[in-house]
């Protein structure tokens, strides 16, 4: 009944009380400043994880996207669903970029049901296509946390013990419609060592707090779109492996790309094995990657061989995940007042205005907060050190 | 300053020496206080300072501090430290709480404190602390304790332990007695109960081990215990206080916790309501008495003669009053009881029964009316004298005389005689007090004017009558609660002079409470539960929309309070017709508090389950109901509280009107002031249910535009007012949703203990820093 008026009053409900944010910063030290706490958390994230931790590099991740009625809420632009799917596309790309030997699958839940959008697979293309298509779907009914976790669990429980089994839930609704006691399911998930993390889009829900605490995942609630993105990016980095996970050697194939030139008369166009499960047009191609074990042909990497089940990757892929093992050391933080020297950031050349500045311990160059985060999250190497390396 | 610094230094050195110790030792104004936690909230420190000053001055205090900030432990650690330091100044702490779970909580805190003491001082602890409750909670007799109602347990216990029963048992061993009491009576008194902390279960265990009755053991032990924890009634209700608390030393400190309703407890303990059913049952009682008397007369006439002669001599308590016999006691305060012999007209048993009959008939006649009668006690006495020639004096002895008779007749099962007991209490009260009481006889209830249901209310209007002996007798009385605002009104209505009156705020590392006043709907129609507009369709719809919108943005549990059951029923029915309920149910389940206790506790249980497993739920309940007073909605059980309307009392009630008039004449408190005060304390109590600690958070939504007025807003506790900004005074539903969403997202961000440290949680070093001490000084606001 209130569907129509809601749309009409868009201009009314939409205004943001930006002055509230300002006020909290100014007020005395007793007044809480959530922003400040958040900033500390941000820093902490960068500084932690530098010990010798074993990381679960081989990940099987199911992302559960809530597509219930509440996803139509317009507090993210243009609405929660579109915004989420857009960020998810970015996430999938980033995920495969940083975790080349991992797999992802997508589940949606609406109308008390859970549905697999894509199965676990190591190639981003299919996922991206599915995500693009999902934008047009309607959001109806309540989500079911139980059903969607169950769907994910059915697949994940067959995964080998040395992989990191994870579920990431993007949960917009504040209610869930479950067919059975979810606490039993949480116990099972815990026994199967499946880590469940939740990103809430509206507020803290008790059952998610328990779910994440019991299974060792993280639970965050977004403040706005940029915070959402930040939280999502946290899940790009491989989580520390639990000490009980097995170690084992994994067979992998590094196929060479064979380029058959058009001039070569012997070359015959052939199908790629990956067309088997793709609904798209099976194109005939000349060259490709050939599985070193069974000689099946693939046009893209990384992929799991359909014939012999060997994981096929390229060496550069594997190298990309290298930085997780040898991360860039945290920069030293000094308050701005104590810092003496030129007041501009080495990276962005902007003026240093924040409360504190960050110094690289190796090259003694100074950076601002934003650049510090960028260097640690994205670049993974200090531009200052690179420069000195080159010049010397 | 210098000696203080020296002391700090000494303390520091001491701490360095004992650097393994984590817990705190504080210096509160020169008193060494052991505090059994690693950290302390600044307001706790401030609270203890004020408390210390009150004790030093040997005066009374009114202290308001929000719940969840550790009131109990602050009180206990300071008073125990004070007791240890000045054993002659303060000999006993009497801690009064409201319910059994609360009593248990206090004892657990005390145990923690005492463990810390023993660890620190390594001396044998000689402290005795115990909880006391009714027989129902303490009985270990296999048959008696199986009974369900408190009254039955009391009656059965009495029938096993009364002195004449025991005497009969002596001659006739087949007469059953309680072996636990026998055992206790034989040896229990000589052997003191070993020092330690006893909650109700500990007492029962101890009793079982020794084979002693825990109830009588506890009642005996409170005389020499250092700390006693029990219910309000043991001090305030003269019927019980006389039995239990008569011999408590003057140098005791009395604490009333959760005391925001103390005036009502006082009033209830002195008021009597008589219905026609009471009179009918009383009639049966009188007949039973008569039959018993005539039977005894044939068999054992000497007994009656003996009683008579005893009464002639004025020895009311001719038998050495045994504790087990003192089942009934005088309803009036000790200093009002006449110390003389029972008047001749009711001395013999038959005469007394005849007297009671006459009185009963008179009351019956009074109840046969068709219009409301209100009169004062002297008027009533005059009337009764004219109509049935009953004098004031014998009436005053009614309760006393009945007690004596029941004992003489050796009636074991006293529970059946509750009706005649009630009538005799009424007789004694009405003839003792001429001021502060009123008699109202109503032929029917206001809401059902066609059904005749006459009630005689003998209503106490002055809470200070019941509490006056407490203030007079004990050297320090502390009244404390989370919601006592406005602070100045309590000393006035309870008629005492406090030395400290202070309100403390909650220091927070993040603003975890968000009070919002919603005054308008999205259509700009004012939202209010004002009588004229409460039937207004637009208001009801707007209330519905508010709940609907909130149900979509608030996670887990929402508790909504209405002003009365009837109002709730009307609104919910109307929501159902408008389809609002259906829409709400898509977001959350709905549970409703009813007047039936069993039904309500069932609803509450299911409500909590729904909050727990993520479905989300709304509890619709009523201010002043069971839910609004005793039940905490921690964390996810209450993320938002919505108060629909201002919970004024039913102002048409004649009892209330009489009380208001009395307050105006006696204490110069205007009607409106008192009504607003009463409404606001209940509103604060309701919304306060959501915040039960510093890590908790919740929205507090006041859905009535009248809350925005200064006279209402100003009567909220300071810790709520502080967060009520001008921007959140007259919001529309839309704005509320926006603010609520923002708040809930902020609060969902991770929050760790380190974030609190230094701001709202202090270590000893932080506490001693100069600027922190200054800040602490601002926390307490003297009223």
A204/B555 Cβ within 8 A:
yes
Give me the domains of chain B, ranges plus CATH numbers: 269-466 (no CATH), 513-750 (3.40.50.300)
Find the mean pLDDT for residues A358-385. Answer: 82
In this predicted structure, the answer to whether residue B157 has a pLDDT above a threshold of 90 is: no
Q: Give the minimum alpha-carbon distance from A155 to chain B in angstroms, rounded to a whole number.
A: 24
Give me the domains of chain A, ranges plus CATH numbers: 54-236 (3.40.50.410), 252-321 (no CATH), 327-390 (3.30.40.10)
Picking from B85, B109, B105, B89, the residue whose alpha carbon sits closest to that of residue B97 is: B105
- Contact list, B556 vs chain A (CB under 8 Å): 174, 205-206
- Contact list, B769 vs chain A (CB under 8 Å): none
Q: Which residue of B has its CA nearest to A35?
A: B746
A41/B750 Cβ within 8 A:
yes
Per-residue confidence band for A382, with pLDDT thresholds at 50, 70 and 90? confident
Tens of pLDDT, residue by residue over A323-332, are: 776 777 778 8
A142/B748 Cβ within 8 A:
no
Helix intervals (H) in chain A? 3-8, 10-13, 18-26, 34-47, 80-98, 124-134, 145-156, 182-191, 206-215, 225-234, 315-320, 322-325, 369-374, 383-391
Q: State how beta strands A164-171 and A59-66 pair.
A: parallel
- Cα B349 versus chain centre, distance: 39
Provide the token pair at B159: 């029938």
Find the mean pLDDT for residues A47-61. Answer: 67
Provide the token pair at B247: 């011999």
Peptide bond into A302 cis (omega under 30): yes
What pLDDT is recorded for position B4? 53
Q: Which residue of A has its CA nearest to B738?
A: A13
B611/A17 Cβ within 8 A:
no
B745/A203 Cβ within 8 A:
yes
Q: How far, in Å, CA of B77 to CA of B115, rounded?
A: 12
Nearest to B738 among A13, A40, A142 (CB): A13
Q: Give the minimum alpha-carbon distance from A388 to chain B in angstroms, rounded to a whole number.
A: 39
- Cα A39 versus chain centre, distance: 20
Q: How far, in Å, CA of B415 to CA of B533, rounded?
A: 48
Find the mean pLDDT for residues B526-535. Answer: 86
- Contact list, A223 vs chain B (CB under 8 Å): 745-746, 749
pTM above 0.90, yes or no: no
**Whether the Cβ atoms of residue A336 and residue A357 lie closer than 8 Å to each other:** yes
- A205 to chain B, any CB pair closer than 8 A? The answer is yes
Please name the residues between 222 and 261 in chain A that touch chain B, using a CB distance below 8 Å.
222-223
What are φ and ψ of residue B345, in 5° steps? Answer: -65, -20
**Whether the Cβ atoms of residue A98 and residue A58 lie closer than 8 Å to each other:** no
Q: Which helix (H) or strand (E) holds B427?
A: helix B418-432
Q: Give the minimum alpha-carbon distance from B508 to chain A in angstroms, rounded to a whole number.
A: 7
What pLDDT is recorded for position A6? 41
Nearest to B749 among A15, A20, A34 (CB): A34
Neighbours of A147 (CB within 10 A): 22
Nearest to B748 among A31, A176, A221 (CB): A221
Q: How far, in Å, CA of B547 to CA of B230, rounded?
A: 40
Find the mean pLDDT for residues B402-426. Answer: 81
Tens of pLDDT, residue by residue over A62-85, are: 999 999 999 998 888 888 999 999
- Contact list, A34 vs chain B (CB under 8 Å): 510, 746-747, 749
Per-residue confidence band for A246, with pLDDT thresholds at 50, 70 and 90? low
**Whether the Cβ atoms of residue B540 and residue B571 lie closer than 8 Å to each other:** yes
Peptide bond into B101 cis (omega under 30): no
In this predicted structure, the answer to whether residue A265 has a pLDDT above a threshold of 70 is: no
What value of ipTM does the predicted structure carry? 0.80
B739/A204 Cβ within 8 A:
no
Q: Give the minimum alpha-carbon distance from A204 to chain B in angstroms, rounded to a whole number.
A: 5
Q: Which residue of B has its CA nearest to A186?
A: B613
Find the mean pLDDT for residues B100-113. Answer: 90
Query: Which of the 8 DSSP states describes residue B707?
Result: G
- B555 to chain A, any CB pair closer than 8 A? The answer is yes
Q: How far, in Å, CA of B402 to CA of B291, rounded?
A: 15
Provide the token pair at B532: 């004229």
**Whether the Cβ atoms of residue B390 and residue B358 lie closer than 8 Å to each other:** yes
β-partners of residue B517 are B702
A207/B612 Cβ within 8 A:
yes
Q: Pick from B555, B577, B589 the residue to mutate for testing the A interface (most A CBs within 10 Å).
A: B555
- Contact list, A12 vs chain B (CB under 8 Å): 734
B579/A1 Cβ within 8 A:
yes
Tens of pLDDT, residue by residue over A91-150, are: 998 888 878 778 899 999 999 999 999 988 877 888 999 999 998 888 888 899 999 999
What pLDDT is recorded for position B16? 44
What pLDDT is recorded for position A242? 65
Per-residue confidence band for B727, with pLDDT thresholds at 50, 70 and 90? confident
Find the mean pLDDT for residues B722-733. Answer: 88
Q: Which residue of A has its CA nearest to B748?
A: A204
């Amino acid at each position: 009944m209130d569907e129509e008026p809601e749309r009409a009053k868009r201009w009314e409900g939409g205004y943001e009380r930006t002055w509230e944010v300002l006020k909290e910063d100014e007020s005395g030290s007793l007044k809480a400043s959530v922003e400040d706490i958040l900033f500390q958390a941000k820093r902490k994230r960068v500084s932690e994880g530098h010990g010798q931790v074993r990381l679960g590099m081989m990940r099987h991740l199911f992302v559960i996207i809530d597509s219930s009625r509440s996803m139509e809420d317009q507090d993210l632009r243009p609405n929660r669903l579109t915004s989420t799917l857009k960020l998810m596309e970015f996430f999938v790309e980033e995920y495969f970029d940083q975790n080349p030997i991992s797999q992802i699958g997508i589940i949606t839940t609406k109308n008390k049901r859970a549905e697999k959008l894509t199965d676990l697979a190591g190639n981003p293309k299919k996922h991206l296509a599915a995500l693009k298509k999902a934008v047009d779907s309607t959001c109806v009914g309540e989500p079911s946390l139980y059903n969607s976790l169950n769907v994910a669990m059915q697949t994940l429980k067959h995964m080998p013990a040395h992989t990191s089994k994870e579920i990431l839930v993007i949960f917009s609704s504040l209610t869930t419609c479950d067919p059975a006691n979810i606490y039993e399911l949480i116990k099972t998930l815990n026994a199967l060592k499946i880590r469940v993390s939740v990103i809430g889009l509206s507020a803290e829900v008790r059952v998610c707090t328990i779910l994440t605490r019991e299974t060792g995942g993280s639970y965050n609630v977004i403040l706005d779109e940029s915070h959402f993105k930040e939280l999502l990016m946290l899940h790009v980095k491989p989580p520390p492996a639990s000490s009980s996970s097995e170690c084992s050697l994994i067979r992998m194939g590094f196929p060479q790309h064979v380029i058959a030139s058009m001039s070569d008369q012997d070359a015959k166009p052939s199908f790629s094995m990956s067309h088997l499960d793709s609904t798209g047009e099976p194109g005939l191609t000349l060259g490709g990657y050939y599985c070193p074990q069974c000689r099946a042909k693939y046009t893209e990497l990384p992929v799991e061989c359909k014939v012999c089940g060997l994981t096929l990757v390229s060496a550069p892929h594997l190298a990309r995940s290298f930085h997780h093992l040898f991360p860039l050391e945290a920069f030293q933080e000094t308050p701005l007042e104590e810092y003496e020297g030129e007041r501009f950031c080495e990276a962005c050349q902007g003026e240093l205005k924040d409360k504190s500045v960050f110094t690289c311990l190796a090259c003694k160059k100074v950076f601002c907060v934003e650049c510090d985060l960028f260097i640690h999250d994205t670049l993974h190497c200090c531009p200052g050190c690179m420069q000195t390396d080159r010049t010397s | 300053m210098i000696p203080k610094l020296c002391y700090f230094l000494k303390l520091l050195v001491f701490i360095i020496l004992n650097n393994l110790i984590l817990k705190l030792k504080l210096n509160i104004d020169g008193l060494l206080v052991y505090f059994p936690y690693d950290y302390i909230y600044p307001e706790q420190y401030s609270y203890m300072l004020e408390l210390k000053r009150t004790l030093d001055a040997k005066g009374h205090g009114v202290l308001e501090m929000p719940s969840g900030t550790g009131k109990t432990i602050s009180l206990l650690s300071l008073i125990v430290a004070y007791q240890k330091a000045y054993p002659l100044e303060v000999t006993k702490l009497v801690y009064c709480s409201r319910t059994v779970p609360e009593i248990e909580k206090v004892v657990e805190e005390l145990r923690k404190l005492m463990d810390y003491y023993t660890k620190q001082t390594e001396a044998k602890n000689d402290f005795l602390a115990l909880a006391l409750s009714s027989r129902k909670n303490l009985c270990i007799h296999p048959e008696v304790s199986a009974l369900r109602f408190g009254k039955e347990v009391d009656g059965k216990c009495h029938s096993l332990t009364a002195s004449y029963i025991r005497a009969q048992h002596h001659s006739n061993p087949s007469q059953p007695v309680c072996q636990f009491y026998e055992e206790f009576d034989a040896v229990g008194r000589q052997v003191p109960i070993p020092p330690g902390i006893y909650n109700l279960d500990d007492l029962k265990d101890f009793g079982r081990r020794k084979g002693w009755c825990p109830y009588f053991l506890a009642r005996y032990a409170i005389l020499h215990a250092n700390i006693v924890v029990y219910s309000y009634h043991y001090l305030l209700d003269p019927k019980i206080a006389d039995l239990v608390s008569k011999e408590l030393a003057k140098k005791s400190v009395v604490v009333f916790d959760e005391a925001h309703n103390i005036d009502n407890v006082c009033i209830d303990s002195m008021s009597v309501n008589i219905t026609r059913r009471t009179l009918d049952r009383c009639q049966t009682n009188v007949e039973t008495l008569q039959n018993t008397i005539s039977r005894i007369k044939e068999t054992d006439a000497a007994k009656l003669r003996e009683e008579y002669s005893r009464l002639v001599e004025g020895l009311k308590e001719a038998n050495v009053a045994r504790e087990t016999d003192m089942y009934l006691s005088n309803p009036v305060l000790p200093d009002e009881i006449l110390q003389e012999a029972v008047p001749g007209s009711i001395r013999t048993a038959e005469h007394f029964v005849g007297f009671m009959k006459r009185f009963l008939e008179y009351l019956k006649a009074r109840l046969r009316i068709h219009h409301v009668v209100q009169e004062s006690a002297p008027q009533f006495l005059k009337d009764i004298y004219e109509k049935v020639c009953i004098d004031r004096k014998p009436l005053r002895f009614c309760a006393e005389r009945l007690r004596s008779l029941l004992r003489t007749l050796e009636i074991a099962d006293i529970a059946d005689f509750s009706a005649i007991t009630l009538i005799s209490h009424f007789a004694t009260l009405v003839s003792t007090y001429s001021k502060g009481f009123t008699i109202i006889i109503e032929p029917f209830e206001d809401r059902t004017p066609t059904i005749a249901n006459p009630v005689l209310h003998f209503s106490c209007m002055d809470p200070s009558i019941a509490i006056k002996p407490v203030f007079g007798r004990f050297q320090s009385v502390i009244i404390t609660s989370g919601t006592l605002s406005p602070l100045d009104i309590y000393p006035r209505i309870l008629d005492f002079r406090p030395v400290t009156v202070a309100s403390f705020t909650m220091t927070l590392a993040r603003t975890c409470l968000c009070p919002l006043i919603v005054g308008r709907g999205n259509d700009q129609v004012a939202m209010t539960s004002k009588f004229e507009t409460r039937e207004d369709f637009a208001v009801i719809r707007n209330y519905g929309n508010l709940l609907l919108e909130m149900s979509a943005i608030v996670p887990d549990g929402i508790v909504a309070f209405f002003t009365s059951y009837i109002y709730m029923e009307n609104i919910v029915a109307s929501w159902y017709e408008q389809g609002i309920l259906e829409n709400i149910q898509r977001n959350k389940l709905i549970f409703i508090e009813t007047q039936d206790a069993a039904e309500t506790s069932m609803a509450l249980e299911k409500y909590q389950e729904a909050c727990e497993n993520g479905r989300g739920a709304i509890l619709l309940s009523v201010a002043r109901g069971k839910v609004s007073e005793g039940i905490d909605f921690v964390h996810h059980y209450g993320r938002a509280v919505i108060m629909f309307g201002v919970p004024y009392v039913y102002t048409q009630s004649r009892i209330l009107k009489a009380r208001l008039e009395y307050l105006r004449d006696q204490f110069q408190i205007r009607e409106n002031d008192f009504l607003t005060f009463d409404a606001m304390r209940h509103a604060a109590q309701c919304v306060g249910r959501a915040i039960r600690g510093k890590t908790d958070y919740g929205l507090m939504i006041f859905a009535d535009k009248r809350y925005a007025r200064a006279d209402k807003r100003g009567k909220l506790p300071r810790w709520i007012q502080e967060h009520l900004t001008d921007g959140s005074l007259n919001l529309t539903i839309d704005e509320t949703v926006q603010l609520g969403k923002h708040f809930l997202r902020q609060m969902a961000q991770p929050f760790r203990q380190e974030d609190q440290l230094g701001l709202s949680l202090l270590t000893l070093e932080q506490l001693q820093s100069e600027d922190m001490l200054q800040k602490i000084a601002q926390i307490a606001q003297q009223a």
